[in-house]
Structure 1
Amino acid sequence: MNAEFIEALGQLEKEKGISKDILIEAIEAALISGYKRNFHSAQNVRVDINRHSGEVRVFARKTVVEDVLDTRLEISLPAAREFDPNYQLGDIVEIEVTPADFGRIAAQTAKQVVTQRIREAERTAIFKDFIDREEDIITGIVQRADNRYYYVDLGRVEALLPHTEVIPGERFKHGDRVKTYITKVEKSTKGPQIFLSRTHPGLLKRLFELEVPEIYEGVVEIRAIAREAGQRSKVAVSSRNEDVDPVGACVGHRGQRVQTVVNELKGEKIDIVRWSEDIGEWIANALSPSKVVTVTIYEEEKMARVIVPDHQLSLAIGKEGQNARLAAKLTNWKIDIKSESEAQEAGEPVVKEPALSDQEAEHAEPAHEADETL
């Protein structure tokens, strides 16, 4: 090695942020192993790299003892005092043992160490960058696929999109651009592993944040999401400003905002409902687009009995129970749905009260109509 190599380490420090001193210390440690391996030495040695000239020197370290049992590790007091008369028993004597052709080994080792440290530094930088982007949305390009994953190029790293995290019916080919949600970032021996999803509820949340300025600005808040990817989702929203209608803000003019999200999710139907502090009202809203007659709350069981008009029963339950299932997931309450006639036959009182306010009813039906056309 020479002075130019030391200068190169200094330049590397500026460009990659890897400390020159740490690199040199790592090279010295690697050279100790290299020396012992190449010269079959069991000596205790120290390698020193001059920080200015790049000169490499190897020193055997021997302990000053009264009786020498192992000449590779020990030296007698008289022999030590030939180097320096001030040596005492127990001191360490360093004797230079640099081999004639050690420079070639040093250069090869230094290159390997520097390459490895650069790779480690880049992996660490990528990990730090993406660990901060967990639970965020990102766009990448599909590179290839196997029976478990799609491999998605994110620019600095290739991420994994499991087939189980793809919307049912979706198929990607090489070169397709895909918008995904980062679910997990892990360290591995080969660098950071980044896992993506197209089915996670977080993707739906992030898409609305991109499309609805009121959400991004914090005026409208997404309170809960229930999603069955590729089929239907329910999004509960509230507003911090009485003058801003949260449902209308998310739907957009003529449904343009929600339509953009629907298109990104390959036609997934989306119900946007108003969140409420009143549990009964909240559950009634969650069953939108169905109309609700009454909601009876059972706090201890965290269960609600909902009565709907006879002609709304199938709508409230949904195809294969989907609407009721999503409403229960959205509110985190068990929901038992009955029609008015079923409730009367069971002897349960049916008090007809509007479950939705006029403003909520105004938005609930158009949202349903929009769903039917998507």
Structure 2
Amino acid sequence: MNAEFIDALVEIEKEKGISKDIIFDALESALISSYKKNFGSSQNVEVTIDRNTGEVKVFAKKTVVEELENETLEISLEDAKAINEKYQIGDVVKIEVTPRNFGRIAAQTAKQVVIQRIKDAERDVIYEEFINRENEIITGMVQRISKNNVYIDLGRTEGVLLPTEQIEGEVYNQGDRLKLYILEVKKTTKGPQIILSRSHPGLVKRLFELEVPEIHEGIVEIYAISREAGSRTKIAVYSKDPNVDPVGACVGFKGSRVKAIVEELNGEKIDIIVWSKNIEEFIANSLSPSKVLKVEINEREKSALIVVPDYQLSLAIGKEGQNARLAAKLTNWKIDIKSESQYNEETRS
């Protein structure tokens, strides 16, 4: 290796942010392995690289002993003193053993080490970038599909949309552009693994933040979201400004804002509900689009009895109980729904 190699390391340090010393340390370790592989593994050796010239030297490390038993690892006191009078029993003597053609091996090893270090550094940069973006939204393109996992091109790296994070019934084709939620970023031996989601409630939250300026500005806030991905979502919002209607802000002019979100989610229904400090009012709102006549709450059990008009019972419960289930998840209260006639009959008896 020569001065050109040192210059190349200086460039790598500037461009990739990898310290020269880190590469030198890794290279010295790798050259010890190369030496042992090519010239005898039983020796205890040390490799040094001159940081200015790039010159590589190999030294055998031998312990000074009174009686020689292993020539590879030991040196007699007499021989050690012939090198330097100061050596004593137990000292370690370094003897240069650099092979003639070791420069070629060093150059090949250096190339491999530098390539690997650049890969590692780039992986670290990608990891740091994405670990800070967990729980954010990102746009990516479907790259390939393998064993029901959908791999998404995110530019400098790829993410994976696992079957558990896909929207049921949603079809993914190569080249499709999607908005996705960054669920988790893991550090693995193969580099960062970015787990994406289309089914997480956080995706809906981030889509509303993108589409509704009042949410982005903090005037309107999202209190809670309950979601059955691909089918229906309920989102509870409130306004910090009495002059701003939170539902109107989320719906947008002629429904433009919510329509954009529904389109991104391939037709998933979205109920936008006003959150209220008054729990009876909040529970009544959560059963939208059904009309609620009465709410009786049990604070101790955190349960509520809801009375709805007879003709709206099935609407309040929803298909396969979905509306009631999402309302319970949104409010964090147990919900029991009765029709007006059922309620009147029970109170009479």
> Which TM-score bucket, shorter chain as reference?
over 0.9
Counterpart position of 2:273 = 273
The alpha carbon displacement at 1:89 in A equals 2.1
The alpha carbon displacement at 1:147 in A equals 2.7
Distance 2:151 2:139 in 1: 13
Shift in CA distance, 159/348, structure 1 to aligned 2, threshold 3 Å:
farther
Distance 1:348 1:321 in 2: 27
The secondary structure found in structure 2 opposite 1:187 is strand
TM-score normalized with structure 2 length: 0.97
Amino acid at match of 1:26: A
List runs of 5+ in structure 2 lacking aligned partners: none
The secondary structure found in structure 1 opposite 2:188 is coil
Counterpart position of 1:335 = 335
Amino acid at match of 2:82: E
The alpha carbon displacement at 1:14 in A equals 0.7
Distance 1:105 1:45 in 2: 16
The secondary structure found in structure 2 opposite 1:257 is helix
The alpha carbon displacement at 1:204 in A equals 0.4
Counterpart position of 2:156 = 156
Counterpart position of 1:358 = none
Amino acid at match of 2:148: R
The secondary structure found in structure 1 opposite 2:337 is strand
Counterpart position of 2:241 = 241
Distance 1:52 1:164 in 2: 55
Counterpart position of 1:292 = 292
Deviations 1:69-123 (A, max 9, x none): 2111111222112111222222221110001111111111111111111111111
Shift in CA distance, 135/348, structure 1 to aligned 2, threshold 3 Å:
farther
Distance 1:339 1:170 in 2: 36
Amino acid at match of 1:27: L
Counterpart position of 2:143 = 143
TM-score normalized with structure 1 length: 0.91
Most deviating of 216-225 and 312-321: 312-321
Distance 1:254 1:174 in 2: 33
The residue correspondences of 1:164-183 to structure 2 (distance < 5 A) are 164-183=164-183
Counterpart position of 1:128 = 128
Distance 2:158 2:40 in 1: 42
The alpha carbon displacement at 1:333 in A equals 0.8
Distance 1:49 1:161 in 2: 46
Distance 1:162 1:46 in 2: 47
The residue correspondences of 1:184-203 to structure 2 (distance < 5 A) are 184-203=184-203
Deviations 1:272-298 (A, max 9, x none): 001111111110110111111111111
Distance 2:17 2:95 in 1: 35
The alpha carbon displacement at 1:271 in A equals 0.6
Distance 1:275 1:283 in 2: 9
Is 1:260 the counterpart of 2:260? The answer is yes
Counterpart position of 1:83 = 83
Shift in CA distance, 348/117, structure 1 to aligned 2, threshold 3 Å:
farther
Distance 1:293 1:175 in 2: 50
List runs of 5+ in structure 1 lacking aligned partners: 350-374
The residue correspondences of 1:88-107 to structure 2 (distance < 5 A) are 88-107=88-107
The secondary structure found in structure 1 opposite 2:42 is coil
Counterpart position of 1:212 = 212
Amino acid at match of 2:156: R
The residue correspondences of 1:41-52 to structure 2 (distance < 5 A) are 41-52=41-52
Is 1:70 the counterpart of 2:70? The answer is yes
Deviations 1:14-45 (A, max 9, x none): 11111101100110011111111111231111
Distance 1:155 1:164 in 2: 24
The secondary structure found in structure 2 opposite 1:186 is strand
Deviations 1:218-273 (A, max 9, x none): 11111100111121110000122222221111111121111111111111111100
Amino acid at match of 1:34: S
Distance 2:329 2:287 in 1: 11
Distance 2:188 2:148 in 1: 18
Counterpart position of 2:308 = 308
The alpha carbon displacement at 1:313 in A equals 1.3
Counterpart position of 1:251 = 251
RMSD (Å) for aligned C-alpha atoms: 1.3
Distance 1:173 1:282 in 2: 41
